[in-house]
Amino acid sequence: VQLVESGGGSVQPGGSLRLSCKYSGFTFSSYCLGWFRQTPGQEREGVATTYSRGGTILYADSVKGRFAVSQDYSKATMDLQMNSLGPDDTAMYYCAADRLSTYQCFGDSSDAFKRWGQGTQVTVS
Protein backbone atom coordinates (compact mmCIF):
# COMPACT_ATOMS: atom_id res chain seq x y z
CA VAL A 1 0.00 0.00 0.00
CA GLN A 2 1.29 3.43 -0.92
CA LEU A 3 -0.14 6.76 0.10
CA VAL A 4 0.91 10.12 -1.30
CA GLU A 5 -0.47 13.38 0.05
CA SER A 6 -0.51 16.66 -1.82
CA GLY A 7 -2.09 20.07 -1.62
CA GLY A 8 -0.60 21.56 1.51
CA GLY A 9 0.62 25.11 1.73
CA SER A 10 0.23 28.43 3.48
CA VAL A 11 -3.03 30.27 3.81
CA GLN A 12 -4.39 33.19 5.78
CA PRO A 13 -6.91 32.66 8.58
CA GLY A 14 -10.36 32.11 7.16
CA GLY A 15 -8.96 30.65 3.97
CA SER A 16 -9.33 27.22 2.42
CA LEU A 17 -7.10 24.43 1.24
CA ARG A 18 -7.76 21.08 -0.35
CA LEU A 19 -5.55 18.13 0.40
CA SER A 20 -5.48 14.98 -1.65
CA CYS A 21 -4.34 11.47 -0.79
CA LYS A 22 -3.56 9.17 -3.69
CA TYR A 23 -3.63 5.53 -2.63
CA SER A 24 -2.47 2.42 -4.44
CA GLY A 25 -1.64 -1.19 -3.81
CA PHE A 26 -4.89 -2.09 -2.13
CA THR A 27 -5.32 -5.83 -2.35
CA PHE A 28 -8.65 -6.01 -0.56
CA SER A 29 -11.93 -4.38 -1.40
CA SER A 30 -12.08 -2.06 1.56
CA TYR A 31 -9.61 -0.24 3.73
CA CYS A 32 -10.10 2.26 6.49
CA LEU A 33 -8.77 5.63 5.33
CA GLY A 34 -7.93 8.46 7.62
CA TRP A 35 -6.63 11.99 7.77
CA PHE A 36 -4.50 12.87 10.77
CA ARG A 37 -2.46 15.87 11.77
CA GLN A 38 0.43 16.54 14.07
CA THR A 39 2.35 19.55 15.31
CA PRO A 40 5.84 19.33 16.83
CA GLY A 41 5.73 18.13 20.40
CA GLN A 42 2.09 17.17 20.22
CA GLU A 43 0.36 13.85 19.83
CA ARG A 44 -1.08 12.94 16.48
CA GLU A 45 -4.70 13.99 16.18
CA GLY A 46 -7.37 12.30 14.15
CA VAL A 47 -9.13 14.59 11.67
CA ALA A 48 -11.46 12.26 9.79
CA THR A 49 -11.82 8.57 8.99
CA THR A 50 -13.90 6.62 6.53
CA TYR A 51 -13.77 3.45 4.47
CA SER A 52 -12.48 3.27 0.92
CA ARG A 53 -15.81 1.71 -0.08
CA GLY A 54 -17.56 4.84 1.15
CA GLY A 55 -20.17 5.24 3.83
CA THR A 56 -19.76 6.78 7.24
CA ILE A 57 -17.26 9.61 7.70
CA LEU A 58 -16.25 10.42 11.24
CA TYR A 59 -14.90 13.91 11.87
CA ALA A 60 -13.08 15.25 14.88
CA ASP A 61 -15.16 17.78 16.80
CA SER A 62 -12.54 20.42 16.08
CA VAL A 63 -13.15 20.24 12.32
CA LYS A 64 -16.85 19.42 12.07
CA GLY A 65 -18.65 21.80 9.77
CA ARG A 66 -15.39 23.12 8.33
CA PHE A 67 -13.68 20.10 6.81
CA ALA A 68 -15.14 17.60 4.38
CA VAL A 69 -13.83 14.30 3.04
CA SER A 70 -14.62 13.12 -0.44
CA GLN A 71 -13.42 10.24 -2.57
CA ASP A 72 -12.88 9.80 -6.28
CA TYR A 73 -12.92 6.07 -6.86
CA SER A 74 -11.83 6.39 -10.49
CA LYS A 75 -8.65 8.16 -9.37
CA ALA A 76 -8.20 6.25 -6.09
CA THR A 77 -8.00 9.47 -4.13
CA MET A 78 -9.38 10.77 -0.87
CA ASP A 79 -9.57 14.54 -0.58
CA LEU A 80 -9.88 16.75 2.47
CA GLN A 81 -11.52 20.10 1.81
CA MET A 82 -10.60 22.47 4.61
CA ASN A 83 -12.54 25.71 5.02
CA SER A 84 -12.51 28.50 7.59
CA LEU A 85 -8.97 27.62 8.52
CA GLY A 86 -7.46 29.02 11.67
CA PRO A 87 -3.99 29.04 13.24
CA ASP A 88 -4.91 25.95 15.29
CA ASP A 89 -5.19 24.00 12.03
CA THR A 90 -1.50 24.50 11.35
CA ALA A 91 0.08 21.04 11.30
CA MET A 92 1.57 18.33 9.19
CA TYR A 93 -1.32 16.41 7.70
CA TYR A 94 -1.03 12.70 7.05
CA CYS A 95 -3.10 10.19 5.17
CA ALA A 96 -3.30 6.66 6.56
CA ALA A 97 -4.84 3.39 5.48
CA ASP A 98 -5.21 -0.10 6.85
CA ARG A 99 -7.59 -3.00 7.07
CA LEU A 100 -9.39 -2.19 10.26
CA SER A 101 -12.56 -3.13 12.03
CA THR A 102 -15.25 -0.53 12.44
CA TYR A 103 -14.23 -0.17 16.08
CA GLN A 104 -10.62 0.54 15.12
CA CYS A 105 -11.43 2.73 12.12
CA PHE A 106 -13.67 5.01 14.09
CA GLY A 107 -11.84 4.71 17.38
CA ASP A 108 -9.76 7.25 19.24
CA SER A 109 -6.32 5.88 18.46
CA SER A 110 -4.30 6.18 15.29
CA ASP A 111 -2.02 3.37 16.42
CA ALA A 112 -4.04 0.80 14.49
CA PHE A 113 -2.94 2.34 11.20
CA LYS A 114 0.30 0.85 9.93
CA ARG A 115 0.44 2.51 6.52
CA TRP A 116 1.11 6.24 6.30
CA GLY A 117 1.92 8.83 3.70
CA GLN A 118 4.84 11.22 3.97
CA GLY A 119 2.65 14.12 5.06
CA THR A 120 1.93 17.58 3.71
CA GLN A 121 2.38 20.78 5.67
CA VAL A 122 -0.49 23.17 6.26
CA THR A 123 0.34 26.58 7.71
CA VAL A 124 -2.33 29.11 8.64
CA SER A 125 -1.01 32.55 9.53
C-alpha 62/C-alpha 56 separation (Å) is 18
C-alpha 94/C-alpha 107 separation (Å) is 17
User: How sure is the predictor about 28, in pLDDT bands with cuts at 50, 70 and 90?
Assistant: confident
Q: Which three-class secondary structure state does DSSP give residue 103?
A: helix
What pLDDT sits at residue 26?
85
How many CB atoms are closer than 10 A to CB 56?
10
Name, in order, each residue with C-beta under 8 angstroms of 27's C-beta and a sequence gap of 6 or more.
Answer: none
Rg, Å, the chain Cα set: 13
What pLDDT sits at residue 125?
95
| DSSP-H helix ranges across 1-125 | 102-105
Measured in whole angstroms, the distance separating CA 113 from the mean position of its chain's CA atoms is: 12
Residue 17 has pLDDT above 80, yes or no: yes
Identify which has the larger pLDDT, 27 or 17: 17
User: How sure is the predictor about 29, in pLDDT bands with cuts at 50, 70 and 90?
Assistant: confident
Name the average pLDDT for the chain.
94
What pLDDT sits at residue 48?
97
